[in-house]
Structures are given as structure tokens and as C-alpha cells.
């Protein structure tokens, strides 16, 4: 790719040295020598969309063999039953804006084929993107082009040398990362980094050391998500944090930093005093004993007031997540009356909320999955009631965001963020079917379907990609993003469900695969992907043996890579970057 302009799009984690320094502290030379950079090879992310399982093929003749032109096997082929004016057409299942290359392989390698490749947005009006109607050379044909909005492509064979078998062995159509794909991260620990630990970060050159948000921006990130706890507490003891890091007030200050750096801003409201995720969704202590109708009012008012404060200080969020990883609901109450962690060996057995009856004294927004498929009328009624409570609470928070946006004449996107547990895809399908139907019935809607993706919990990249596309097809009209992802670079190999090794290069390749899967969704519906706390999440960090205040990081903020622009044909203008 030498000689081509290069563009920062997405990161592929490499070495960063982070030194916790005071006003006069310096990094010891001995420690500096331990931070040699690892080399990461980054290639353009190139996807053969024609081979995706959602793409369909039709042909002028020999239709039963049409799909053999996309099986990645050049020994099989679509074979026409006629000799002239034969064509093979593919439907990508939706439009793509960044297709840049086609490759056609024919079944008779030594024969000369005359053909054209055409593209269409609607399957009716066709534009020629490659004209080989006067071809005199045997072998495959490869062409570059630039044309947005392509859903259909067609190979028309107009003639061939004597004895050539009419057909196509492989028809490949290559997609590249879109220029508008969002590359970012959850960097909510920025507050602690700057104000508590006085950390600075640099990539390769210590002279460039700066705060984590500036380092991320300089490295190429374009979006930062910030989580918000109601009144931050220590998850185990329940002691309130002082300072209240990641609470509403301090997050307002971090939001200013994010916007001042020209970055997109996402707000992730946990509606809890500590971590909310699929294993636990504890109400804030202040709301723990509220009757349900008052809990609904609390969600609405808290959400409205906080988003209004963000807007008032000039930090309009680009997107707000009303809750975090909501596959089992949120604000759990009496519908989950038993301790959520029952084994004393469980990591959160002694968490402050686990044995406190106050938190489950009144109904909340937990989803009663235990009764999902029950045929018992009472249990089925309990399941339906849990969905009604959950979506009532969700509608209250979503309505509050919409009210603030309307009152201030701004746009704020709404995201609902869930997971697809490995082997539990049916449950996630049920979630979206129930959630979107009920939310609309309550007069509300969302903009973005968000997902976490960690291979050890959520399956292989290929399976997850297929599930993501299935959900996108079932629920058109919504954007989709990967709200959290990470891949280890310094822990035990192999990582479950991951083909990528535990190395900096493996991490780079894994993260690029995540960006690829969201970028390849039809109709350009994939927004992007956010790496979860790349400067703190332990599976991405090798803490090594260095003594505090020096921390050696094997994988962190260094921009996840330089992605050259997709190739363009000689006669076509380059893509807008």
C-alpha cells in the first residue's frame, strides 16, 4: 500500500506505556526499556460479501447451481444450460456504499470469456461497472469501481472461446470499511486517570504523553461512551465513593472534555449505584423501596433532569443508552426475590445488595425468563407482567430523553443495549420481539439496537455475525452497533470461541473482525464498535511486575491501526475519506 494516502479509522491494540506520575515524578529508565513496541501488521479490511449466508443468487438458466458461484470453491460452478446472453445475478440483501472490487473466475481456466459486470440499486436500472465485452485474455477478471447504494450485481456472459463451459466458478464482491464507521471506546475511567492517579499516556514516544482522552483522540478514536451510576458505591461493601467517580456530577465534567476534543459522546445510564450487567441489576439505594408507580416516575425524572443538565452545559449527547446490557431487564425487584448469588464462593455473594431485602421489597423491571415457555397460566401471566413492568420503566426513560431533545430542538439517539449469550440466540430474538412491540404500544421507540461482543461469552465471530444479521433482517429500520467489545492480549491462550491468539497481533485481528461484522450489515446499518475500557480492562492489559506508580501496558490505546483506503479503479474518483 505504499504511495497511498492513509487514514485512521479503527484501532488494533498495540503497546502503550502508561506512567502514573505526580508533578515532579519521572519514569525510571529501567522501566522505559521494558516497553518496546510490538509490531502490528494491519491490512485493509476486505470482505467478500457475495459469500455471506444472507446473499441470494438467481440465473438465466441452471438456477439450481447458481449458489455454487459463491461457495469459495473454484472447482464448482454455476453452469448455464444455454450459450448466449447468460447471466448470474446476486442480491446482497440490502444496499452497500463501500463496495470497491469484483472478481470473476470462470469454469474453463484456459478459455477466453467476454462479459460485463453490472450494478443496480433496485434490480431494475443497471449500470456497467466493468466492461470485458471485447476481452481477449484467458483467466479470472478483477475490477475496481466506486459506486454507492449497490444492492444487486450481475455478470452477463456475452460470448466465449470455442469449447468454453458457460458459467461462473466464483463471483466475489469486496466490501471495505465505510468512512463513516464509528471507532471509539468506553473510557469512563478518564476521571480517575486524570484526577486521582494523574496518569498520562503515550504511544511509542514519551514526549507525547498526555491524558487518556486526548491520547485516544490523537490515536484515531472518534467517539467516547461514559457510564453513569446514580450515587456511586463500592460494589462489595456498599460504601459510597468519595469522590463519586462516574457519578452524574463528575461525568458532566468528563463530557465537557469529550466534546472539547471534538469527539462523539455516548451516555450509558446504569440506573444503579454500581455495575449493572446481565448477572445483576440492583436498584439505586434511593429507589430501592419505592412502589412501582413511583419507580416509574423516578426513572423518568432522573433521566430528564440529567440529560437536561448535559444539554444545558453544551454537551448534547449523540446517543443515550437507557440501561446497560438489558437482556434480563433492569432495576430488579420482588420478581427476583431470592439472592442473585447463592454460593459463598460466588464473586458477588457478599455484594451489598445481594442479601438486603430492601432491594427486592417492591416490583421492579426484571424479566421473568424462568416462565418464558411455561404452559401454566399463572406462570405465563407472571412472564407477561414482567415484560409490562420492564417496558413501562424503559418507556419512561426513553420518553424523558425525547422530551429533552424536543424542548431543546436537538437530536439525541436512543440505544437499547443487550447481549446474545452463546447458544441462547432464541432468547435474544424473543427479547427484541417483545421489547419493540411493547415499547411502540406505549408510544415510544429507539434508534439503535446495541450489543456486547466478547467471544468467551458470546460465541465465535462467524456465529455472532450471522445472528446479528438475522436480527437486523427481522427488525428493519434500526441502526446496529457493537456497544462493547474486547479481546485479550496478555492472558491464557486459547480464548474460548476465538480463532485469534493471545497476542497484540491477535488482538488487532480480533478487533478488526468486529468492525468488519458490523460494517458488513446490509443497508449500511452498522454504526460502528466501541472497545470497552482499553486502558483498564484487565484482559486487555498486562500489568506485569512493575511497581506502582509505573504501569506497563501490553495492549491499550495505541490506535488500533492505520487502515489504507479501499482500492479504487483508475477511472473512478477515490472514495470520500
| Range of lowest pLDDT (152-156, 193-197, 268-272, 542-546) | 542-546
pLDDT tens digits, 215-273: 888 878 899 999 999 999 999 999 999 999 999 999 999 999 999 999 999 999 999 99
Distance from chain centroid for Cα 28: 38
pLDDT at 59 over 50: yes
- Residue carrying the nine cell digits 465513593: 241
Lowest mean pLDDT among 302-306, 465-469, 494-498: 494-498
Whole-Å CA distances, 577 to 1, 7, 253: 16, 8, 32
Give me the DSSP letters along 26-38: ---HHHHTT-PPP
Q: How confident is the model at residue 203 (pLDDT cuts 50, 70, 90)?
A: low
Q: How confident is the model at residue 204 (pLDDT cuts 50, 70, 90)?
A: low
pLDDT value of position 39:
65
pLDDT at 573: 31
Question: Average per-residue pLDDT in the chain?
Answer: 85
The pairing of strands 113-120 and 319-322 is unpaired
Residue 152 pairs with which residues in a beta bridge?
A: 91, 120
pLDDT attached to residue 218 = 83
C-alpha distances (whole Å) from 315 to each of 309, 410, 532 are 9, 11, 22
Query: What per-residue confidence (pLDDT) applies to 279?
Result: 96
| φ, ψ of residue 330 in degrees (nearest 5) | -150, 175
Question: For 513-529, what is each residue's pLDDT tens digit?
Answer: 999 999 999 999 999 99
pLDDT of residue 219: 78
Please, which pLDDT band fits residue 7 given cuts at 50, 70 and 90? Answer: very low
Contact 557, 544 (CB under 8 A): no
Q: How far apart are CA 157 and CA 230, in angstroms?
A: 64
Average pLDDT over residues 447-453: 98
> Is residue 25's pLDDT more than 50?
no
Q: Is the pLDDT of residue 18 over 60?
A: no
Within 8 A by CB and 6+ apart from 114, the residues are 132, 133, 134, 135, 157, 158, 159, 160
In this model, does residue 120 exceed pLDDT 60? yes
Helix (H) or strand (E) holding 114: strand 113-120
* Closest C-alpha among 90, 478, 319 to residue 468: 478
Residues contacting residue 242 through CB under 8 Å, at least 6 positions apart:
none
pLDDT digits (tens, 9 = 90+) for 355-405: 999 999 999 999 999 999 999 999 999 999 999 999 999 999 999 999 999
Instruction: In the chain, count H helices and then E strands.
Output: 10, 26
Asked if residue 166 has pLDDT above 60, the reply is yes
DSSP characters over 116-173? EEEEESSSSS-EEEEEETT----S-EEEE---SSEEEEEEEEEEE-TTPPPEESEEEE
Q: Are 526 and 481 in contact (CB under 8 A)?
A: yes
71 neighbors 48 (Cβ within 8 angstroms): no
Q: Can you give the pLDDT at residue 212?
A: 87
In angstroms, rounded to a whole number, what is the distance separating the alpha carbons of residues 551 and 548? 7
Residue 41's CB is within 10 A of a number of other CB atoms, namely: 9
Which cell numbers in the block locate residue 28? 525510571
- Check: CB of residue 67 under 8 Å from CB of residue 55: no
Mean pLDDT of the 149-175 span: 96
Outline where DSSP puts E strands in 270-412.
319-322, 329-330, 365-366
Domains of the chain, earliest start first: 47-176 (2.60.120.260), 182-276+307-325+389-563 (3.20.20.80)
Cell for 516? Answer: 468488519
CA-CA distance, 146 to 571, in Å (whole number)? Answer: 9
Beta bridge pairs of residue 18: 201, 551
Q: Which pLDDT band, with edges at 50, 70 and 90, does 198 fall under?
A: confident
Residue with cell 440465473: 59
**For residue 69, how far is the Cα from the chain centroid?**
30
Place of cell 404452559: 375
So what's the pLDDT on residue 208? 79
Under the banding of pLDDT at 50, 70 and 90, the label for residue 535 is confident
Q: Is 371 exposed, middle or buried (0-12, 13-18, 19+ CB in 10 A)?
A: middle
pTM of the prediction?
Answer: 0.87
Amino acid at each position: 500500500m505504499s504511495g497511498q494516502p492513509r487514514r485512521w479509522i479503527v484501532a488494533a491494540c498495540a503497546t502503550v506505556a502508561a506512567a502514573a506520575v505526580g508533578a515532579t515524578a519521572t519514569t525510571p529508565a529501567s522501566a522505559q526499556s521494558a516497553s518496546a513496541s510490538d509490531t502490528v501488521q494491519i491490512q485493509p479490511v476486505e470482505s467478500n460479501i457475495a459469500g455471506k449466508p444472507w446473499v441470494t443468487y438467481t440465473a438465466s438458466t441452471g438456477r439450481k447451481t447458481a449458489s455454487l458461484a459463491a461457495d469459495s470453491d473454484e472447482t464448482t460452478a454455476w453452469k448455464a444450460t444455454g450459450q448466449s446472453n447468460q447471466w448470474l445475478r446476486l442480491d446482497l440483501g440490502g444496499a452497500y456504499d463501500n463496495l470497491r472490487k469484483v472478481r470473476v473466475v470462470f469454469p474453463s481456466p484456459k478459455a477466453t470469456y467476454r462479459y460485463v459486470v453490472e450494478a443496480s440499486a433496485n434490480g431494475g436500472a443497471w449500470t456497467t461497472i466493468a466492461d470485458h465485452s471485447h476481452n481477449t485474455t484467458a483467466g479470472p477478471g478483477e475490477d475496481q469501481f466506486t459506486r454507492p447504494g449497490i444492492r444487486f450485481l450481475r455478470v452477463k456472459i456475452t460470448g466465449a472461446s470455442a469449447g468454453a463451459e458457460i458459467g461462473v466458478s466464483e463471483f466475489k464482491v469486496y466490501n471495505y470499511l465505510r468512512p463513516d464507521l464509528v471507532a471509539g471506546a468506553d473510557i469512563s475511567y478518564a476521571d480517575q486517570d486524570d484526577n486521582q492517579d494523574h496518569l498520562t499516556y503515550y504511544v511509542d514516544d514519551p514526549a507525547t504523553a498526555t491524558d487518556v482522552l486526548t491520547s485516544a483522540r490523537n490515536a484515531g478514536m472518534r467517539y467516547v461512551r461514559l457510564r453513569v451510576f446514580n450515587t456511586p458505591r463500592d460494589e462489595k461493601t456498599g460504601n459510597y465513593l468519595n469522590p463519586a467517580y462516574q457519578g452524574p456530577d463528575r461525568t458532566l465534567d468528563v463530557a465537557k472534555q469529550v466534546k472539547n476534543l471534538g469527539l462523539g459522546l455516548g451516555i450509558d445510564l446504569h440506573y444503579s449505584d454500581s455495575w449493572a450487567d446481565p448477572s445483576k441489576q440492583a436498584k439505586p439505594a434511593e429507589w430501592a423501596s419505592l412502589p412501582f408507580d413511583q419507580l416509574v416516575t423516578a426513572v423518568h425524572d432522573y433521566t430528564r433532569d440529567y440529560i437536561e443538565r448535559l444539554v444545558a452545559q453544551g454537551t448534547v449527547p449523540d446517543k443515550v443508552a437507557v440501561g446497560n446490557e438489558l437482556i434480563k431487564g433492569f432495576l430488579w425487584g420482588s420478581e427476583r426475590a431470592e439472592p442473585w448469588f447463592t454460593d459463598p464462593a460466588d464473586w458477588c455473594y457478599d455484594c451489598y445488595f445481594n442479601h438486603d431485602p430492601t432491594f427486592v421489597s417492591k416490583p421492579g423491571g426484571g424479566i421473568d425468563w424462568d416462565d418464558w415457555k411455561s404452559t401454566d397460566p399463572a406462570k405465563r401471566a407472571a412472564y407477561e407482567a414482567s415484560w409490562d413492568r420492564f417496558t413501562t420503566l424503559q418507556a419512561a426513560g426513553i420518553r424523558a430523553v425525547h422530551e429533552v431533545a424536543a424542548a431543546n430542538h436537538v437530536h439525541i439517539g436512543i440505544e437499547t443495549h443487550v447481549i446474545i449469550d452463546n447458544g441462547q440466540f432464541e432468547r435474544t430474538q424473543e427479547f427484541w420481539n417483545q421489547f419493540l412491540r411493547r415499547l411502540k404500544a406505549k408510544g415510544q421507540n429507539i434508534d439503535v439496537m446495541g450489543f456486547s461482543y466478547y467471544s468467551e461469552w458470546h460465541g465465535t465471530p462467524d456465529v455472532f455475525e450471522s445472528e446479528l444479521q438475522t436480527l437486523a433482517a427481522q427488525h428493519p429500520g434500526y441502526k446496529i452497533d457493537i456497544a462493547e467489545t474486547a479481546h485479550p492480549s496478555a492472558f491464557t491462550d486459547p480464548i474460548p470461541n476465538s480463532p485469534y491468539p493471545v497476542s497484540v497481533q491477535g488482538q488487532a485481528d480480533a478487533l478488526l473482525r468486529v468492525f468488519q461484522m458490523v460494517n458488513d450489515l446490509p443497508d449500511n446499518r452498522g454504526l460502528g464498535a466501541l472497545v470497552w475500557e482499553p486502558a483498564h480492562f484487565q484482559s486487555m492489559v498486562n500489568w506485569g511486575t512493575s511497581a506502582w506508580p509505573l504501569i506497563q501496558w501490553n495492549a491499550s490505546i495505541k490506535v488500533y491501526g492505520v487502515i489504507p483506503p479501499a482500492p479504487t479503479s483508475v477511472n473512478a474518483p477515490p472514495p470520500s475519506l
